[in-house]
């Protein structure tokens, strides 16, 4: 399996696991690869929390990352480190012996397998390291599976107080956010434009049933939006500026006792016109639940305007402070890096090239994607060993940056500098094969799983 990781890091693009065995760095036959995948699948635990080789591998990668921290990020993040949760599809249109469902992808809803990916942002461009890539059952949604995945991850590895989980709009729903609060994981995500929130209720007036929610805030109706608690503006290098608003204490239906932080981000062109037809709405949930005294009157005193000249405040050391609008915009902007990282792992490293079948397909798929994830980690680890001044850059390589694609082109030369040699294969003779007259029972067939509406 270590030899497979080396072959994946160098290339070329594998359309199937068999093509990896054709690499000059792979020293074994193709049946040895499948034998290793079978052994890795048989050694996996039944649950995501099982103490198996997969959990140990992920723990060792996190320990290495703590010992070799990435370079500091830009000041706009305010000291926050970013982890991203997202789901992707592995299309299996013609699979009959694997239980698949309809999974959303770039081509719409297609039969396939879903993967839930938890990653950590470590560098510019596509450098978002996969911490976990987990197989999703067809009957589970990305939201419910992602909540269980984060719960198992926190139980196994913990969660730093200054690390925020960045998600897309499908995760900013009450069940998922409640699970994040229970695990002390701060979360920041995008909101759909048709969502509704509420102002916190005023103090008890002494008669009747105490109000749970105040006036409604409809995101697509500017007239219903109250005065913001914080307004922050900053200029853009290409021209224009961004205006961000923050409401510190908003509530949600069915969750009236939990304060939420709401953001509105509007980007303007140089001529003062909005760049996009709709503003960007973000929601932040702190790492610990907060219960507000319902008898205390809610105060909204003035508007604090922060200009570009003033310093950006850092988050609370206990993980309870909400980001400023500029920090929230920068944090969510980093979420798009996982899209580029997933595309690189799919197209270049062959993350979805394993077309495994049968009842053992889940374990073999899990083993294969972890090999791909480890190859991506290997490219990041070798990045510090490259002297950019001594690299002979091609004429078409205009960026002159050590992107994952550039590291893959430089990996073979680095292996040779390390003194890498092809492993010596021990001859084991020919397999006797199946006994004469042996018959294999047909594999179980599955229909495409459909989620009821």
Architecture of domain 73-347: Alpha-Beta Complex (3.90)
Q: Supply the pLDDT for residue 241.
A: 94
Give the C-alpha separation, 369 to 354, whole Å. Answer: 9
pLDDT tens, 145-195?
999 999 999 999 999 999 999 999 999 999 999 999 999 999 999 999 999
Are the beta carbons of 197 and 217 closer than 8 angstroms? yes
The pLDDT-based confidence of 296 (bands split at 50, 70, 90) is very low
The pLDDT-based confidence of 307 (bands split at 50, 70, 90) is very low
Every domain of the chain with CATH number 3.90.350 lies at 73-347
pLDDT tens, 75-107?
788 889 999 999 999 998 888 888 888 888 888
Residue 261 has pLDDT above 50, yes or no: yes
**For range 197-223, the mean pLDDT:** 86
pTM of the shown model: 0.87
Kind and range of the H or E run holding 436: none
The token pair at 92 is: 């299996």
Q: Supply the pLDDT for residue 306.
A: 40
Sign of the dihedral defined by the CA atoms of residues 252, 140, 46, 377, in that order: negative
Give the C-alpha separation, 233 to 243, whole Å. Answer: 4
The token pair at 367 is: 């083993």
Residue 439 has pLDDT above 70, yes or no: yes
Q: Measure the CA dihedral 201/205/206/210, to 10°.
A: -20
Give the C-alpha separation, 41 to 378, whole Å. Answer: 22
User: At 144, phi and psi to the nearest 5?
Assistant: -65, -40
Q: Supply the pLDDT for residue 235.
A: 93
Q: Supply the pLDDT for residue 207.
A: 75
Residue 316 has pLDDT above 50, yes or no: no
Least confident of 192-206, 287-301, 354-368, 432-446: 287-301
Q: Supply the pLDDT for residue 231.
A: 95
Give the C-alpha separation, 246 to 242, whole Å. Answer: 13
């Amino acid at each position: 399996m270590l030899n497979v990781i080396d072959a994946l890091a160098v290339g070329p693009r594998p359309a199937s696991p068999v093509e990896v065995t054709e690499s000059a760095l792979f020293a074994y036959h193709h049946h040895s690869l499948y034998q290793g995948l079978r052994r890795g699948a048989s050694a996996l635990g039944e649950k995501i929390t099982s103490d198996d080789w997969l959990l140990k591998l992920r723990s060792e990668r996190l320990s290495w990352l703590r010992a070799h921290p990435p370079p500091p990020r830009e000041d706009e993040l305010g000291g926050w480190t970013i982890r991203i949760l997202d789901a992707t599809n592995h299309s299996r249109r013609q699979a009959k012996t694997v239980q698949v469902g309809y999974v959303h992808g770039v081509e719409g809803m297609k039969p396939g397998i879903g993967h839930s990916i938890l990653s950590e942002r470590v560098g510019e461009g596509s450098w978002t390291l996969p911490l976990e890539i987990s197989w999703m059952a067809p009957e589970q949604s990305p939201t419910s599976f992602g909540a269980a995945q984060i719960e198992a991850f926190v139980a196994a590895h913990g969660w730093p107080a200054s690390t925020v989980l960045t998600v897309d709009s499908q995760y900013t729903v009450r069940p998922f956010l409640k699970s994040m609060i229970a695990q002390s994981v701060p979360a920041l995500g995008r909101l759909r434009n048709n969502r509704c929130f509420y102002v916190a209720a005023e103090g008890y007036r002494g008669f009747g049933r105490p109000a749970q929610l105040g006036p409604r805030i409809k995101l697509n109706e500017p007239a219903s939006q109250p005065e913001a608690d914080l307004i922050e503006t900053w200029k853009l290098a290409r021209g224009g500026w961004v205006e961000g608003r923050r409401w510190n204490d908003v509530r949600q239906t069915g969750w009236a006792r939990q304060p939420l932080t709401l953001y509105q981000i509007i980007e303007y062109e140089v001529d003062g016109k909005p760049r996009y037809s709709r503003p960007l709405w973000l929601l932040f949930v702190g790492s610990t639940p907060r219960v507000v005294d319902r008898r205390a009157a809610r105060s909204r005193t003035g508007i604090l305007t922060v200009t570009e000249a003033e310093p950006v405040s850092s988050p609370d050391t206990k993980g309870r402070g909400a980001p400023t609008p500029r920090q929230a915009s920068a944090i969510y902007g980093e979420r798009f890096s996982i899209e580029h990282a997933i595309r690189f792992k799919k197209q270049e490293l062959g993350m979805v090239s394993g077309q495994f079948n049968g009842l053992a397909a889940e374990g073999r798929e899990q083993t294969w994607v972890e090999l791909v994830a480890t190859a991506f980690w290997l490219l990041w680890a070798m990045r510090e060993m490259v002297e950019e001044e001594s690299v002979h850059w091609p004429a078409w390589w205009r960026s002159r940056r050590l992107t994952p694609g550039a590291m893959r082109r430089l990996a073979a030369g680095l292996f040779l500098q390390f003194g890498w040699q092809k492993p010596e294969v021990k001859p084991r003779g020919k397999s006797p094969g199946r006994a004469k007259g042996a018959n294999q029972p047909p594999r179980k067939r599955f229909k495409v799983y459909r989620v009821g509406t």
